[in-house]
Structure formats: C-alpha cells, structure tokens
Structure 1
Amino acid sequence: MLKLNQQVRIQVDDVFIQYHIFDINQPIMVTFPPGSKPFNEHDISSGQSAWGFDFFAKRQMNVISFVHIGKNNLFESPIFECFIDKLRADLAIFPSRIGYGASRGGFAVALHANKLAIDRALLLMPLSTYNPIIAPWVHKAAELKSERGLDASQCNAALTIIYDPLSLRDKLHKRRFSHCVKALTITGVGHRIPRALLNLGMLSSVVLEYREGDINSDYFYQRTRNRRYLSFYFKHVRINNTGKMTNKRLMVIYRYKFVYFLRNLYMKPYKILAKFKVNVLIKIKKLGEFNRL
C-alpha cells in the first residue's frame, strides 16, 4: 500500500524507487531514466533524487520514479517484476497513470506499461528492445543484452514519441512501437532529445503540457527551429540518412554553423584548453601503462 503525503525511498533488488503521493484524485507520473543515469550505493545513502522525481514533486504532482542500480541493468529483475505486479493495484486508485522516460527509460516504461496499466506515455528517443536478434541495429548491443530477449514494442499504452528521424537507430526503434499515436521530430540532434529540449528551453513546458493532455504540434515545431543555434546540431544534421542532403542545404548548414561560431567565439579558448588538458591526461595515462610493461 502506497503511503500518502510523504516522500518514500525504497530499494527492490537492483532498482531504487522514490515516490510522493499528494492527491489521489490527480494523475500519477511514472518515470524511468535514461541509461546514463544509474544509481550506486552512494547515491542512495546520500539522498540523491531519482531522475524525474524532483521535477514533479516540487510542483506537488503525484510521482513514482524508478532508477536502475548499476549500468548493466535493464529493469528485468524477476524480484522487481513481482513488485510491479503488486504495485498495479496501488496505482489503480489514480484517475490516470502517465509514463515518462528517455532512451532506456522509454524502453522500461513501455516494458512495464501493461502491468502498471499505464494509460499513456511520453517517450523521448525510446529503445524498443535490447535483443539484437529482434533488432540488429539495437543501441550498444555488444555491451547490453536482455537475458530474456524482452521486447517493449507491444505495450498497450498510447505513446507520444519524440525522436530525431536522421538517427537511424532511433527511427527504427520508433517504427516498432505498435501504439504510437503521435510522433514529434527534432531533426539533426541525434540521440540527445532531452538535452536538445533543455537547451532550447522547452523540456519543462513540453513535459507539463503533455501531462495536462497533449503537446501542441505547431508550437512545438515553431520552437524547435532554434535548434540551429545548438552546437551539437551541426554534428548530426550532416549525417545523410535520407539521401536528400543537397549542396544548397549543406551551404545553409555551414552558414548557420559559422554564425554560431561567431556568436560563441568567446568560449573557444576555454574549450581548447579543456581538450588540451584531457589529451595530456590521456597521454600521461598511456605512458604510465607503457612503463609498467
């Protein structure tokens, strides 16, 4: 039974869980983080908040957040799945259950959506599976594989997916989700949708707008036009996955890249110095390894 009007932190096998229930008459957000946000024992003992928890809790919105402990964790622990089965009855008291996840978190939301009776979910560049047999293009297949070949693509929740259509892997994963009712694209940012939305000053408003109902597509695309002022945009947009990169389009890209360079010229010395320090440390490390041979 979920405790009301208090923050609760628990651990179930290799998953950390944090929740706060403010009002059972309001929806509850169910969040899972990207793979780059794992927890360790220090994060738990020091009171670190789970990904997505503070965002909703500070606004007094019901939220339950799950975080994987350790990098090679796909939320497939049998003990955790038993917990999910029991949690479904507790979540049934809310008028709706709304999922929110990015990358591996999108995979986890979709994977457990049916058991948690999630009604709808906002997924940012979600992975549909880690099974290279099902999806040969699967991200980091060499390091991460589901032991049971789990496939999240058939979840029944109504999904809104935001992704970069020029990122071939993300595009192929998006196609596999059978209940994607709405797709929004940010072309040229790669597998960095949350970072792009954050840098564009859109992440909070997009998530809150979705929680309230739906994302206004026209306004969304109007705001994402400013992505041409993001540094990593130029690194990805030149990837010619569509075969439509004409010389004219390429010249437009380089023009905006040059404008970006001029606007951020003051940052260049710091970036150069930072890269120089990293290269020196790498060389020192390699030299030390060579001397030990």
Structure 2
Amino acid sequence: MHRLKDISNKDIPLPLYGSEIIDDVFCRFCISDFSAPLVVTFSHMGHKAQKADGLDSYKPWAFDFVKSCGFNSISFSCLGATNWYRSAKLEDELKLLSPLLDRFEVKLGYGGSMGGFGIGAFAKVLKLDRVLLINPISTLNADIAPWETRFSKWRNELDWSHGSFDGTDFESTGYVVYDPLYDLDRKHAFRYKNLTHLKVPGVGHSMPLHLKEMGALKKLFIDFANNQLDLHWFYKKVRNRKLYPRYYKWMLEHCKRTTPSRRKVISRHYNALNGYLGKSSSETDKLFGALRKAAIKLESTDLTLALDLMMQAKKIRTKSPFIDKKIIEYKRKLGQT
C-alpha cells in the first residue's frame, strides 16, 4: 500500500494505490498515468468513512467514478463525525502535498455541497487549474453567509474564522451548478464570481442525484475534465427535466416563487406524468418495447446511451426483472457500481 508522499518518487512503478488518515479525514488515491488529469474530490455530508466499518474497502465519494473515466484520483471524506474539512492538520498536510502534484499536467477539483466547500477551500493550496462545483456550500462563516440556516450545528461547533474557511477564495476557473430557484444554494453560488454558472431550475439540492437521473452527470464531468463542455448540450438536457417527476415534486413542495395559478399547472403536469409512467396501456407498452429494443441494439456501440434508454424504460415499467438486470449489467460495465 502506497502513501501520498510516494507521488514524488519517480522510480516507483504505476499504478500507485493507497489510503491514509489525516487527522479526522480519510484519503484514498489511485495514480495510473501522470500525463492524464488528476481529479481531487471531497465527499458530501452523507458520504463519510467509519473506523468501525473497516477502511480497507471504503471508497470516498466519486473515487471509483473518476477512476472509471480514466483519470487519476485523490479523494477525501470525513472520518467519523461530519467535520467540514476544518482540520488545521489537514490544511498543513495539503500544503506539503501541493508541490508533489506539480508532476500532473492538469489538476482538477470536483465536489458537491460540503464537498464543494472542500474543493473551494483548498483549490488555492492545491493549485487546481479548474473546478466543477455542484450546489456548493461556500462557507458557514456567520458574517459572510448569515442567511445560511441549514447547518447551524457545525457553524456553532467548528471554527469558521481561521485557515481556509471561505470556499470562494481561489482563482481557478470552471463551473458551479445549482438551482437558481432554491434561494440558499443560489446565494452561495453567486459568491463564485470566477466560475461559469450552470443553472438547473426546480430540482433543489442533491444536484448530483438529479443530474444522474436526468442522464447528464457523467458527460458533464467528462467534458469538464477534458475542457470541452458543450453548454448547448447541457441546457438541452436541463430542459428535459420536464420529464423528471422530482422536478414537479420539488416545485410543488419547496419553491417559494410559485404563484397559485402556476401551482395548478405544475400539479396538472405532475399528475399527468405520474399517470403516464404508471399506467399499462398499449401506447406505453409500445414505448416500453421500443426503448428496450433500442437499448439492446446500442449495447455494443454506445453503452451510456443504452443505459439511459433502459432507465427511461424502467420509469414506464418499474417492476421488470429484465430491465433491472440490464441496468445492473450496463452500470457494471461503465464502472458505476
């Protein structure tokens, strides 16, 4: 098992694979090609390591995903209790790690929510070239973000006045993805002046999940990593959220800007979509069959699209062992399981 400091040793054969604990943070890394981009990730609040569960097989958020895309990965997650990566020892260790990463031609950051804070907080220390932040929390410093009300426990218990406490204090370029109708996430996003803003209205927080279910997450990440993101493609995908039930559900339950007349329209569409996805008529049976047939035909040429079609078929017929089997098969081949 290797250590992070081994990155500086040019005589060690690749791949370098290992893990280590830095104070209250767990790190796992895999370095396979120094000419390929390095992607640093920080896990969100719902994905943390537990010593009691054993750490030999634990993978921080996005670690396997980044590897499956052919990139080098250094991934961090909280160890035990949620700590927002506020450890002074962690910051000191990252400062020591930073010059070792100069071997990589391209250094990227990727994280969402609390993980987005982690990337922003240490982007300058790690000298990241570009970042992809998904509904990031920019800081819990009460003077900077007094309107943030969701994380009062950690605002009160942790030090937000020393070290890298502001997740917008960096010069890297890149993208921030958020729902402009969700006021708290929008206020955080507006603090990232040097990033291109990608807006996905009407889905709320948990943006990686929404992007994944809309079939946009993987291509968004890969295109970002390759520095060739197509904004026309992205917003075309975003418009398809009107076929995504959670869009209507969030708009009805959480959007404060929805007028009564607008709520009626949204409710009508939501009920119609749920009815369409749940009923078993000859029309939906034909659509189900067409999606399944097209996915199977694409298995050998475009597995990502095949998976997307199978996921759409599953929305029409939720209880189909064949569809479930195919989805598991495709995800395994794509490295998503």
| Greater CA drift, 101-110 or 211-220 | 211-220
**Equivalent residue, structure 2, for 1:285:** none
Alignment of 1:1-293 (within 5 A): 1-3=5-7, 4-145=14-155, 146-149=158-161, 150-180=165-195, 182-238=196-252, 239-241=254-256, 243=257, 245=259, 247=261, 249-265=262-278
**Equivalent residue, structure 1, for 2:330:** none
Relative to structure 1, the CA distance from residue 260 to residue 71 in structure 2 (aligned partners, 3 Å threshold; closer, same or farther) is farther
The aligned amino acid for 1:133 is D
Relative to structure 1, the CA distance from residue 44 to residue 94 in structure 2 (aligned partners, 3 Å threshold; closer, same or farther) is farther
Relative to structure 1, the CA distance from residue 21 to residue 148 in structure 2 (aligned partners, 3 Å threshold; closer, same or farther) is same
The answer to whether the Cα contact below 8 Å between 1:131 and 1:141 also exists between their aligned partners in 2 is no
| Greater CA drift, 231-240 or 124-133 | 231-240
The aligned amino acid for 1:185 is K
The answer to whether the Cα contact below 8 Å between 1:110 and 1:153 also exists between their aligned partners in 2 is yes
TM-score normalised to the size of structure 2?
A: 0.73
1:158-189 Cα offsets, whole Å, 9 max, x none, are 13000000110000001112322x11111110
The answer to whether the Cα contact below 8 Å between 1:32 and 1:100 also exists between their aligned partners in 2 is yes
Cα distance in structure 1, aligned partners of 2:228 and 2:124: 21
Cα distance in structure 2, aligned partners of 1:224 and 1:148: 35
The aligned amino acid for 1:171 is R
SS in 1 for 2:154: coil
SS in 2 for 1:2: helix
Root mean square deviation of aligned Cα:
2.1
The count of corresponding residues between Structure 1 and Structure 2 is: 265
| Greater CA drift, 186-195 or 223-232 | 223-232
Runs of at least 5 residues in structure 1 that lack an aligned partner in the other structure: 271-293
Runs of at least 5 residues in structure 2 that lack an aligned partner in the other structure: 8-13, 280-314, 319-337
